[in-house]
Amino acid sequence: MMALGLPFLGLSRLWLSSLLVMVSSTAFAQQSLIVADDGTRGLSFRNQTGRIVTFVCPSTLNLNQGIWGTDVYLDESAVCKAAVHAGVLARGTTGQVTIVMGGPAESFQGTERNGVTSASSGPWSSTYSFVPNTQAGQIDWYTTYDRVPDDFHTPITVLCPPKGNADTSAWGTDVYSASSPICVAAVHAGLITLDAGGRVTVTLQPKQETFVASVRNGITTRSWTGWNYGAYPQPYKVTPGAAIVTAPGSADSRARTIRLSGFTASGTAVPVVPRTIQLNGFTAAGTATPVAPRTITMPGWTATGGPP
């Protein structure tokens, strides 16, 4: 336990790991807010390996929370502090960070980076690492834009999963209050459906005095008037999910899978036996015959390797 530095004296690592698995699989299974706080950690998404999650880290966060690892972090690590350590967030600024959940790791190496020190640790069952913000984080159907700082105006593209529900209230039409679930507002705006979900982009808007109720696409929103309630909530707008644009010749950040008969998604043969991929104009050794430039064309890919 001393290697972890967690305040659970007298408990074994195995017992603590089991406890955290039980907690993360129940109360912490989903994302309620886009904005992070001092206690936002990756463990909330344990057992969701491969899930991409987006947060907004406020400039005012306390960075005294613990983190373990370098580049790959133990899931107990505070996300915003780890983002500063990893160099994807500047200290004292508000910014978006995106993580992808990973599986177990045998060890975590502590280092000092960007004025932040991480600790070392032994084996742990769940990890996360940072990915480019161009990858849309998957939110949940009650995730809201509440508490996002007024100084953050960068559009964020997120992914609403399929098979959603509209059990929570939303306020407004076209422009929605920050406490309105993003995915529900997107259905109301006609951008996605409850059944299919989809990508949407969220942008903060100037504050306004009223939010108008309406019925659209099977969603009934509520009205809100400032003079009745006092303080004005922060509004946001949802638009179609932004396309990912890359410079010519650069790698596209979206995942692609090239499928070849007899191979699994991980690239291994099924069953595991030697395979030969034959392409016209190439020998078994992989060289062209005669030796001359060749282009391998895959559907959905350009000659430079980027998406069309």
Lowest mean pLDDT among 18-27, 66-75, 270-279: 18-27
pLDDT digits (tens, 9 = 90+) for 27-84: 345 799 999 998 899 998 998 999 999 999 999 988 889 999 999 999 999 999 999 9
Lowest mean pLDDT among 95-104, 145-154, 184-193, 211-220: 145-154
Mean pLDDT of 251-273: 48
293's CB contacts (< 8 A; 6+ apart) are: none
Per-residue pLDDT for 112 more than 50? Answer: yes
Residue 133's pLDDT is what?
94
> What's the mean per-residue pLDDT of the chain?
79
Residue 185's pLDDT is what?
98
Specify the pairing of strand 69-70 against strand 112-113: unpaired
> What SS3 state is found at 79?
helix
Lowest mean pLDDT among 16-30, 67-81, 181-195, 228-242: 16-30
> What SS3 state is found at 127?
strand
Mean pLDDT of 198-210: 93
Q: Is 60 exposed, middle or buried (0-12, 13-18, 19+ CB in 10 A)?
A: exposed
Distance CA 49, CA 112 (A): 27
CA angle 298, 303, 305 (to 5 degrees): 75
Per-residue pLDDT for 284 more than 60? Answer: no
Q: Which range is most confident: 223-232, 233-242, 248-257?
A: 233-242
pLDDT digits (tens, 9 = 90+) for 139-163: 999 999 999 998 899 999 999 999 9
Per-residue pLDDT for 292 more than 90? Answer: no
Residue 159's pLDDT is what?
97
pTM for the model stands at 0.70
pLDDT band of residue 233 (cuts 50, 70, 90) is confident
pLDDT band of residue 281 (cuts 50, 70, 90) is low
More reliable by pLDDT, 199 or 30: 199
Distance CA 205, CA 234 (A): 7
Percent of the chain with pLDDT over 70: 67
Residue 151's pLDDT is what?
86
Say which DSSP state 182 is in: H
Residue 61's pLDDT is what?
84
Q: What are phi and psi of 18, to 5 degrees?
A: -65, -40
Nearest to 274 by CA among 265, 282, 284, 283: 284
pLDDT band of residue 243 (cuts 50, 70, 90) is low
Distances (CA, A) of 34 to 58, 82, 99, 216, 285: 11, 17, 13, 25, 50
pLDDT band of residue 207 (cuts 50, 70, 90) is confident
Lowest mean pLDDT among 103-107, 228-232, 248-252: 248-252
Distances (CA, A) of 161 to 143, 198, 254, 286: 12, 7, 17, 41
Residue 285's pLDDT is what?
58
Residue 209's pLDDT is what?
85
Q: Is 167 exposed, middle or buried (0-12, 13-18, 19+ CB in 10 A)?
A: exposed
Residue 150's pLDDT is what?
86
